[in-house]
Amino acid sequence: MKTRTLGGQITVNEVGYGCMGLSGIYGASDDAQSIALVRRIVDLGVNFFDSADAYGNGHNEELLGKALKGIRDKIVLATKFGQQRKPEGTIICGTPEYAQSACEASLKRLGIETIDLYFQHRVDKNVPIEDTIGAMAKLVKQGKVRHLGLSEVSVANLRRAAKVHPIVAVQSELSLWSRQDELDVLPVCRELGIGYTAYAPLGRGFLTGTVSGREALDAKDTRQSHPRFAPENIGENLKLAAKLKTLAASKGCTQAQLALAWILAKGKDIVPIPGTKSESRVVENMQAADIVLSAAEIKALEEIAPIGVTKGDRYPAANMKAIDR
């Protein structure tokens, strides 16, 4: 596996693995199968795993804890805090006290002593970023965390945070249908020497060509509530996926591989973290690192999917309000 270095500190595979889907986010999941899959992914050579305490309200971390017993030293583990998912809705919390308690709870669920990369999942707009990062910096001093990251952070708060403690990575949504960070966040990451991990790099499965319509989604699939999958938008977005299919066929690769190869071509400081419950898809995603795109192919892709082309917001309205932009 080829590698990349985030923020000059953490060396990981060019294509990591996002664990969210193992906790029922996109339909039913099976713990035994998920544990076996995680261990198989490690055998295949993937060393970068991304989780969060919000995924399944702790379930995802507990699952990883079981899967990584005996092989902890083979992986770089990232997890996040800051989103408390409750029946009345999601609460964003970035108080210093919560940062400490959330980290300790994650360590217990994961069954480990130190988190390699700890992200603030969403910025708490009611708590100065300096206070949250200051508390996270204490976690580093305590040996509970090795490196710090921020997810879905604005340029202003990223600059403020970096003055308090080194930030190794920013994690935000980046794909051919979510290119907003190319305009502001990515340039500042490069200015400050911060790496970037791209979640949902396959457009939540949409760019793989496997979503033919809303009827293809499980009834409990969270994408049912996402604007881009809404009846008024999905038709136009399917046209985008169809164009990618044509280009992928001419390249001799899958749509997923083409979408990941585009992200990888955007810079050596970017690491996509696609998620899947299928071993064959993991292998397919890994092979995207071997695909080289020419300047003409990159231009063609970006003409198909210019910034802002996708119909609908990335999240439902309530979730969009929690994003720090």
Task: List residues with catalytic annotation.
Answer: 55
Written as six digits, the tokens of 247 are 């280009």
Helices and strands of the chain, counted as H and E runs: 11, 12
Where does residue 4 rank: exposed (0-12), middle (13-18), buried (19+ CB within 10 A)? buried
Query: Which residues neighbour 25 within 8 Å (Cβ) at sequence distance 6 or greater?
Result: 55, 56, 221, 222
Crossing angle between the packed helical segments 59-67 and 96-110, to the nearest 10 degrees: 40
- Give one DSSP letter per residue of 35-60, joined into a string: HHHHHHHHHHT--EEE--TTTTTTHH
Phi (first) and psi of residue 53, to 5 degrees: -70, -20
Contact 228, 234 (CB under 8 A): yes
Distance CA(149)–CA(136), nearest Å, equals: 10
Strand partners, 252: none
Distance CA(175)–CA(18), nearest Å, equals: 14
Angle at 23 between CA 310 and CA 227, to 5 degrees: 20
Contact 177, 202 (CB under 8 A): no
Contact 158, 133 (CB under 8 A): no
Q: Is 308 strand, coil or helix?
A: coil
